[in-house]
């Protein structure tokens, strides 16, 4: 699933292509919106809230989408012939005189009254990439379940919005924290949140590079993420990976270095090395 920086960059691309322009036509290829027509409405802005995309029109409507695992928005010339994906994957087409925005494989597509946005997204914690990020509220939510494993707590968008599997694993490596440590035992929770925010901001500035090592090469840009079985860049111990999660069936992979992040809380049993 895309990280928050990716979604914010998608919102930026949609805003540049559509904001201030009137929709010539709209095509919703989801049953609930099949008869909806936004043509004639001017797009005010596109923005992100965590991993959610919001596109607002001057008529007071908001198109709310979520990329999920495989979703994508593409901006094309208004006269483009193809969609860039098979037609059966297309969920939304928004056309102006100059550009066409195509949403494909979107996990969620819904239309809201703009004044209903806050109610719809009330479950989300503070957005790490928001200019008014409320660190105190994020920490309060994280600490509301002190026994919860920190990796799970960081991924929970109800605590703070924007962290995905990549930045979860990288932040905990960079702070030297065992991912299975309970929140109440994390040595520097404010510092962990601050580092996550700074990494997401840096990735946005760099066009979604998502480098945590400072290097640009795909083979060198991360410390532990998707590096299972490879030597740690700091200590040469082999990076490990295991499934982690407090909701059965919704576990996510966690990457970590057993030496740099040594702690008493790590997993026992078979590890999913080689995935």
The residues that are catalytic are 2-3, 51, 252
DSSP, collapsed to helix, strand or coil, labels residue 153 as: helix
Q: Please give, one letter per residue, the 3-state secondary structure of 20-52.
A: CCECCEEEECCHHHCCCCCCCCEEEEEEEECCE
Q: How far apart are CA 2 and CA 185, in angstroms?
A: 29
Residue 150: both structure tokens together:
């920190």
Q: How far apart are CA 168 and CA 170, in angstroms?
A: 6
Burial status of residue 69 (CB atoms within 10 A of its CB: 0-12, 13-18, 19 or more) = exposed
211-240: b (≥16 Cβ within 10 Å) or e: bbeeeeeeeebbbbbebbeeebbeeeeebb
Contact 57, 19 (CB under 8 A): no
Q: How far apart are CA 210 and CA 207, in angstroms?
A: 9
Q: How far apart are CA 57 and CA 274, in angstroms?
A: 47
- List residues bridging with 252 in a β-sheet: 244
């Amino acid at each position: 699933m895309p990280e928050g920086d990716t979604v914010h960059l998608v919102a930026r691309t949609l805003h540049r292509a559509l904001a201030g322009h009137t929709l010539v036509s709209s095509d919703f290829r989801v049953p609930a919106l099949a008869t909806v027509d936004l043509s004639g409405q001017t797009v005010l802005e596109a923005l992100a809230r965590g991993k959610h995309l919001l596109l607002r029109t001057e008529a007071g409507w908001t198109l709310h989408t979520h990329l999920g695992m495989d979703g994508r928005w593409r901006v094309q010339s208004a006269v483009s012939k193809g969609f860039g994906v098979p037609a059966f994957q297309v969920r939304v087409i928004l056309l102006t005189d100059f550009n066409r925005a195509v949403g494909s494989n979107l996990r969620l597509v819904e239309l809201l009254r703009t004044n209903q946005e806050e109610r719809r997204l009330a479950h989300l914690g503070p957005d790490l990439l928001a200019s008014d990020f409320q660190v105190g509220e994020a920490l309060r939510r994280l600490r509301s379940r002190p026994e919860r494993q920190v990796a799970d707590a960081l991924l929970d968008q109800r605590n703070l919005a924007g962290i995905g599997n990549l930045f979860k694993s990288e932040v905990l490596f960079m702070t030297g924290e065992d991912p299975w440590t309970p929140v109440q035992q994390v040595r520097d929770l404010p510092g962990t949140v601050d580092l996550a925010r700074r990494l997401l901001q840096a990735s946005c500035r760099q066009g979604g590079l998502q480098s945590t090592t400072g290097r640009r090469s795909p083979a060198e840009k991360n410390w532990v993420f998707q590096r299972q079985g490879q030597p740690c860049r700091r200590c040469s111990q082999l990076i490990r990976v295991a499934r982690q999660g407090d909701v059965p069936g919704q576990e996510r992979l966690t990457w970590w270095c057993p030496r740099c992040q040594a702690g008493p809380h790590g997993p026992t049993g078979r590890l999913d090395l080689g995935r």
